[in-house]
């Protein structure tokens, strides 16, 4: 088993983790300060959202220099110290690679704009207008409106699947491929353990730029939301060749590195294809599971279907929260602590790699944001129908103090604080029965248990609304995801319950929204 299969990974949104210089924005030194917490929690690896120089139109996902650190977040020396300090604690650092697009402020794009003959012109996707002057096709940006922006001086449109200041690179161009290989190698040399790859499944576009078809009622609601089926602008078959190429670069490094892709697809068969035949992504984020309700029947179905689709050598990955899809303690659990605990028990005991998002371990929920406080371009465009992603990106709640231990007491953080007086790391750390200590107990149990780290998983028949599975030879996880008590016919010793109640098995009587892990001899 690889470290990233057995381990627990943790996502940090660097601007919101910890601010050490009092500017209201989290920084790399803040992550270094947070390592004590992560080590105590038992985390094996950390994925840090983009840290590179960026105009921050999309908060780092508009990169203007791939081989540097954003001054607001720190320096290259800080980054090297982070890698070293984390390594001493057995924690690996993954960075975020954004290969689909660059910022329009990136020197490549600035050069491309200088004219049709520019050296980097064909590093981006350019096309002539239709005869009536309109965009080359009907593609829509994921952030609303046409995916094409007209460049008056050259008389052509360029493609942007996201903001118009995020110009899509042309992955048909070998020079682009080489440039990004070079970025990978640069950070591998610095000691990063791998990358989370942004838009990993969709960097290459249809060569003929064919129109996308309309959605139908059969499409997943999340696809209907886009307004068209992104058949030609995403998930093109040629992407596999690129994934194989990145995999090769990652495996050629010494030691070999890992790649986890943001594979935003809602079809598990398509998701499975991004693992290739063990020669593409190591892990492909599972959005169908992310969008499944926290209901025994529904989760069981999605999890079983995931196993059915993934081949022998593909390893699942499970996530409840991230910086785009907001926090599971709100989305799945409506802030109900019983549900938050049961979700954590599920995430940390399914066969596969769990990714926790900063704050999951204390049950942080989404935070209401006013129009004036918005920072996310999606929220700014669609508020109030869609408040965007800021509600899930608010500062880590370290303590009940003014500033939440995130920043100095008199500093106003870049996004508002949530309810840090009642939900924070410091208070939960000293409370043995807290969500934080429960999360830590689960992570440490997982570390000790070969069954939980690597054992096979099979479902056990159970009442509607519950989800019960065997892991490995002797571990059974029983999740009562219903509002009613439930009795399970299982023998053995109860190792942990989500409520902290001491329970006996055979039969196991669970309260509403209570889970238990049982070991059988």
Return the active site residues: 198, 252
Our CB check for ligand NOJ shows the closer of 141 and 434 to be 141
Our CB check for ligand NOJ shows the closer of 78 and 96 to be 96
Exposure of 73 in the CB half-sphere (CA atoms within 13 A): 26
Contact 284, 322 (CB under 8 A): no
Quick note: the x/- pattern for ligand NOJ over 242-281, rule CB under 6 A, is: --------------------x-------------------
Shortest CB 98 distance to ligand NOJ, Å:
6
Shortest CB 296 distance to ligand NOJ, Å:
29
Contact 4, 44 (CB under 8 A): yes
Taking CB atoms, the residue at the shortest distance from ligand NOJ is 61
Indicate the angle between helix axes 435-448 and 337-347, nearest 10 degrees: 20
Structure-token pair, residue 492? 């053995």
Shortest CB 323 distance to ligand NOJ, Å:
6
Evaluate the CA torsion angle 326, 329, 331, 334 in order and state its sign.
negative
Single residue of 27, 170, 198, 280 touching ligand NOJ by CB under 6 A: 198
Contact 445, 496 (CB under 8 A): yes
Binders of ligand NOJ among residues 61 to 90 (CB under 6 A) are 61
Binding flag, residue 58, ligand NOJ (CB under 6 A): yes
Determine the 3-state secondary structure of 37 from DSSP: helix
Distance between first and last Cα of the chain: 24
Binding flag, residue 162, ligand NOJ (CB under 6 A): yes
Single residue of 8, 167, 199, 481 touching ligand NOJ by CB under 6 A: 199
Shortest CB 254 distance to ligand NOJ, Å:
29
- How many residues bind ligand NOJ (CB under 6 A)? The answer is 9
Task: Return d(Cα 11, Cα 5) in angstroms, integer.
Answer: 16
Shortest CB 376 distance to ligand NOJ, Å:
8
Our CB check for ligand NOJ shows the closer of 13 and 318 to be 13
Binders of ligand NOJ among residues 90 to 129 (CB under 6 A) are 98
- For 144: left if phi > 0, alpha if psi spans -120 to 50, otherwise beta; the answer is left
5, 42, 1, 45: which is closest to 352 by C-alpha?
A: 5
Binding flag, residue 151, ligand NOJ (CB under 6 A): no
Binding flag, residue 361, ligand NOJ (CB under 6 A): no
Binding flag, residue 170, ligand NOJ (CB under 6 A): no
Shortest CB 84 distance to ligand NOJ, Å:
27
Our CB check for ligand NOJ shows the closer of 203 and 468 to be 203
Our CB check for ligand NOJ shows the closer of 123 and 264 to be 264
Task: Return d(Cα 53, Cα 68) in angstroms, integer.
Answer: 7
- Cα dist. 293→296, 299, 329 in Å? 9, 7, 12
Single residue of 6, 122, 181, 324 touching ligand NOJ by CB under 6 A: 324
Shortest CB 239 distance to ligand NOJ, Å:
15
Our CB check for ligand NOJ shows the closer of 323 and 339 to be 323
Task: Return d(Cα 185, Cα 163) in angstroms, integer.
Answer: 28
- Cα dist. 371→157, 377, 378, 379 in Å? 32, 12, 12, 8
Binders of ligand NOJ among residues 449 to 478 (CB under 6 A) are none
217, 286, 276: which is closest to 251 by C-alpha?
A: 276
Shortest CB 422 distance to ligand NOJ, Å:
29
90-116 core/surface letters (b: 16 or more CB in 10 A; e: else): ebbbbbbbbbbbbbbbbebbeebbeee
Q: Which residues bind ligand NOJ (CB under 6 A)?
A: 58, 61, 98, 162, 198-199, 262, 323-324
């Amino acid at each position: 088993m690889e470290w990233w299969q057995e381990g627990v990974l943790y996502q940090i949104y660097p601007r919101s983790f910890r601010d050490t210089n009092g500017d209201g924005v989290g920084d790399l030194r803040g992550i270094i300060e947070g390592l004590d917490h992560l080590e105590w929690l038992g985390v094996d690896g950390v994925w840090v959202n983009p840290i590179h120089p960026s105009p921050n139109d999309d908060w780092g996902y508009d990169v203007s220099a791939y081989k540097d650190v954003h001054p607001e977040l720190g320096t290259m020396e800080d980054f090297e110290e982070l890698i070293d300090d984390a390594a001493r604690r057995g924690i690996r650092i993954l960075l975020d690679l954004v290969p689909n697009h660059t910022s329009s402020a990136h020197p490549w794009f600035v050069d491309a704009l200088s004219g049709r003959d520019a050296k980097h012109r064909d590093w981006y996707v350019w096309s002539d207008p239709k005869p009536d002057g309109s965009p080359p096709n009907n593609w829509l940006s994921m952030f609303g409106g046409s995916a094409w922006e007209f460049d008056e001086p050259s008389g052509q449109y360029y493609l942007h699947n996201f903001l118009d200041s995020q110009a899509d690179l042309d992955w048909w161009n070998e020079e682009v491929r080489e440039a990004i290989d070079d970025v990978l190698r640069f950070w591998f040399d610095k000691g990063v353990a791998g990358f989370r790859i942004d838009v990993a499944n969709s960097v290459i576009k249809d060569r003929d730029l064919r129109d996308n078809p309309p959605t139908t009622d059969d499409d997943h609601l999340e696809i209907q939301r886009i307004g068209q089926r992104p058949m030609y602008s995403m998930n093109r078959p040629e992407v596999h060749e690129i994934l194989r190429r990145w995999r090769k670069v990652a495996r050629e490094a010494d030691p070999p590195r890992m790649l986890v892709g943001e594979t935003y697809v809602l079809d598990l068969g398509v998701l499975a294809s991004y693992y290739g035949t063990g020669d593409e992504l190591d892990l492909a984020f599972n959005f169908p599971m992310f969008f499944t309700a926290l209901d025994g029947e529904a989760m069981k179905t999605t999890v079983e279907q995931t196993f059915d689709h993934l081949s022998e050598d593909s390893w699942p990955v499970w996530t409840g929260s991230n910086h785009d899809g907001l926090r599971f303690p709100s989305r799945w659990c409506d802030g109900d602590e019983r549900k938050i605990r049961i979700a954590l028990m599920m995430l940390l005991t399914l066969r596969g790699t769990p990714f926790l998002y900063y704050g999951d371990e204390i049950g942080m929920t989404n935070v209401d944001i006013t129009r004036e406080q918005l920072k996310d371009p999606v929220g700014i465009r669609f508020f109030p129908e869609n408040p965007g992603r800021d509600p899930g990106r608010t500062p880590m709640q370290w303590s009940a103090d003014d500033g939440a231990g995130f920043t100095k007491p008199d500093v106003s953080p870049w996004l508002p604080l949530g309810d840090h007086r009642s939900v924070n790391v410091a208070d939960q750390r000293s409370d043995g029965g807290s969500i934080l200590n429960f999360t830590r107990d689960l992570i440490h149990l997982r570390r000790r248990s070969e069954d939980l780290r690597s054992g096979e998983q099979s479902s056990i028949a159970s009442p509607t609304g519950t989800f019960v599975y065997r892991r490995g030879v002797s571990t059974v996880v029983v999740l009562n995801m219903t509002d009613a008590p439930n009795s399970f016919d299982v023998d053995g010793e109860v190792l942990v319950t989500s409520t902290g109640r001491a329970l006996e098995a055979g039969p196991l009587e669970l309260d509403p929204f209570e889970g238990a892990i049982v070991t059988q001899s």
